[in-house]
Chain A
Amino acid sequence: NAGVTQTPKFQVLKTGQSMTLQCAQDMNHEYMSWYRQDPGMGLRLIHYSVGAGITDQGEVPNGYNVSRSTTEDFPLRLLSAAPSQTSVYFCASSYSPLAGGRQFFGPGTRLTVL
């Protein structure tokens, strides 16, 4: 199993550009989520999904969109990048967090917005 994979590993954007961060998992997990990690703020939930076709907002959703057309993939879209979105983005998956499922994290995407 590859686990949770994320692409790209690094990205530099200019203010106003859009892009999609890719996340895929091969563990047949229903639950997937996106976090951002910032110094002094820790990890915060952006969006999550409890299954294909179902998504919802987390703690800091503004400026981001998600969709879940398959169980495996959960892309995160930045609509119009802003310097405040400079961060490290992690995707995570779990078979059932509330039933004791561990959450597995990808290696992260390091994004800089100029």
Chain B
Amino acid sequence: KQEVTQIPAALSVPEGENLVLNCSFTDSAIYNLQWFRQDPGKGLTSLLLIQSSQREQTSGRLNASLDKSSGRSTLYIAASQPGDSATYLCAVTLGGQGGKLIFGQGTELSVKP
């Protein structure tokens, strides 16, 4: 059974710091991995999607990497800002059930001014 784990569960950093969020998964048979952002009381916003054949994706200050063989992904946020404060979720797409997402529990990020 696929399990997705995110460490740490919570992270507090000062503004301007570069940071890394970690995601690990137990079964390497995934189609892709997505990183989402969730603000309190809101829906999920897709940040980056990495196909299983890719190693990384970049969008602005965000860079996500994927190492399928070791079952790991990282989300790197450069020059963090208070507006980056949110919960970040990683999710892997499985082949069954049309593209079911298996989510981690999330990392709650707080960026202090």
Enumerate chain A interface residues (CB-CB to B < 8 A).
4, 31, 33, 35, 40, 42-43, 45, 48-50, 56, 58-59, 90, 92, 94, 96-98, 100-108
Contacts and interface: CB of A to CB of B under 8 A. Distances in A.
B104 A90 contact: no
A60 to B, nearest CB: 12
Interface string B80-113: 0000000001010101011111011110000000
Contact of A107 (B34, B42, B105): B42
Interface of B: 31-32, 34, 36, 42-46, 49, 51, 89, 91, 93, 95, 97-101, 103-106
Interface centre among A96, A103, A104 (most CB of B within 10 A): A103
Given A100-B51, A105-B46, A107-B42, 13 more contacts: A43-B91, A43-B101, A48-B99, A58-B100, A92-B101, A97-B93, A97-B99, A98-B31, A100-B49, A103-B93, A105-B36, A105-B44, A106-B43
Which DSSP category, helix, strand, loop or mixed, fits chain B's interface?
Answer: strand
B32 A90 contact: no
